[in-house]
Amino acid sequence: MLNKKISTWTKEYPLLKEMIDLQEVLWINPKYSSFKEAVDKISISQEDIIDAERRLERFAPYIAKVFPETKAENGIIESPIVEINNMKKELENMYACKIYGKVLLKCDSHLKVSGSIKARGGIYEVLKHAEDLALEHNILHLDDNYEKLDSDTARKFFGEYSVVVGSTGNLGLSIGIMSAKLGFKVTVHMSADARQWKKDLLRSKGVEVIEYESDYSKAVEEGRKQSEADPNSYFVDDENSKNLFLGYSVAAKRLDKQLSSMGIKVDSKNLLFVYLPCGVGGGPGGVAFGLKMLYRDNVHFFFAEPTHSPCMTLGCMTQQHDKVSVQDFGIDNLTDADGLAVGRASGFVGKTLEKLLSGCYTVTDENMYRLLSKMGDSENIFLEPSALAGLPGIVNLLTSEEGKKYLEDQGLEDKLNNITHIAWATGGSMVPKDIMKEYYNKGIALL
């Protein structure tokens, strides 16, 4: 709860007034620092990321076996990246501006198995837990072929344990699908935002789905309570999990390979700007952290949120992190961008990225829908509303006063043509056709 009146807060942070009025804003982080200065007090290291990469490699033969759609990539779940020149032109028209540099789309929307960015962190955390248990009980050894986990013995073993998570939908999908495949009992606590088709899909895989009338924070709280009551239960703590964060961070080196193969350099003359839709913060935070470890001062990242759920912007700007929620300021946390419908951000992520985050901005639901339809028409790529929030960041940076000032402060005014912009498309390929059609039509009606 707030220890000061709202009017006192808005006096201190004038941008907050605009956020309360549900306007689109761009917040530049005044604490943004050089990598060297920022990284000192961070407890996660490059070794932790490498450990996560190795773990995913150990599991790859198992993943390829139980999810045949991943066979072509030998059980490594990774998404394509594409240059979107048609959409770049659409953006220029929509916002009447000139976009300098390359515009790429990282299609986590098309990650196999669970169709969203959660296929990184969520699946990783379940695998980590499964490995810990199996090693401890001699079901598995580090040098085994992990395909052996696709057996009745292993499933019977995991069946003695349960996995619990609270979610607005996509995390539930990835944790649910992966846990059920291994044989765990799994319960997903779904917030009111969660789409019916996600609940139906999970139930069809034997996952227990518990529904709430309230938002994400409540679903997490109830999940945590249930899990704590059972010693054989493991709670995936989206608000605080280092393992989720590490699963996401593995994206960085893989992206580096993809950029190299496209002939795109990242160095002090060729900068990378990345725009990531943000809910509680673990997904975008983990990916961004991995990229910072790799590219240091040559990468800048921004988080995108709905105007109705700007929890990370709020937490970082006021430096109150998870001590404040958007509801404390009368913001309702009601948005069609269900993956981003979070009222209180992760304190762990906000604090870890305190000096590494370049800034945050907000996007209206209407603009996400408009961009959704334009993306479909111009590139034939269909995304869920949340996943479109990355794109307007490019426009914000290049055209707003605050954005231009940031570029100037970083000495980049004359390097604009050398910037590669990546909008992180965080979900969408599993959305049923008829629902995608509804999304698309909504966008068309708004254009």
Ligand X SMILES: *Cc1c(COP(=O)(O)O)cnc(C)c1O
- Residues in contact with ligand X by the rule CB under 6 A: 116-118, 170, 277-284, 339-340, 384, 386-387, 426-427
- Full strand arrangement of the beta sheet holding 81-83: 26-28, 359-363, 299-306, 272-277, 420-425, 102-107, 81-83
Q: What are phi and psi of 119, to 5 degrees?
A: -65, -15
Tokens of 276: 């990531």
Nearer to ligand X, 9 or 361 (CB): 361
- Provide, rounded to whole angstroms, the least separation between the CB of residue 275 and ligand X: 12
Helix or strand run (H / E) with residue 420? strand 420-425
SS3 273: strand
Residue 170 CB, shortest distance to ligand X, in Å, is 3
* Nearer CB in complex with ligand X: 139/340: 340
| Residue closer to ligand X (CB basis): 154 or 375 | 375
Burial class (CB in 10 A: 0-12, 13-18, 19+), 270: middle
Contact between 56 and 101 (Cβ < 8 Å): no
Minimum CB separation of residue 33 from ligand X in Å reads 22
CB of 117 or CB of 317, closer to ligand X: 117
**Helix ranges restricted to H, 117-249:** 118-136, 152-158, 170-182, 196-204, 216-228, 242-249
Nearer to ligand X, 61 or 429 (CB): 429
The two tokens of residue 405 are 């000032």
Query: Among residues 167 and 187, whose Cβ is nearest to ligand X?
Result: 167
Concatenating the DSSP letter of every residue in 101-132 gives: SEEEEEEGGG-TTTSBTHHHHHHHHHHHHHHH
Nearer to ligand X, 277 or 310 (CB): 277
Nearer to ligand X, 227 or 426 (CB): 426
**Minimal distance, residue 153 CB to ligand X, in Å:** 34
CB of 273 to ligand X, least distance (A): 18
Contact between residue 30 and residue 319 where contact means Cβ atoms under 8 Å apart = no
Cβ 88 to ligand X, closest distance in Å? 21
Residues of the chain by 3-state class (helix, strand, coil), percent to 5:
55, 15, 35
Amino acid identity at 434: D
Element (H, E) at 234: strand 233-236
- Residue 277 Cβ vs ligand X, minimum distance, rounded to whole Å: 4
As measured in angstroms, the least distance from the Cβ of 383 to ligand X is 8
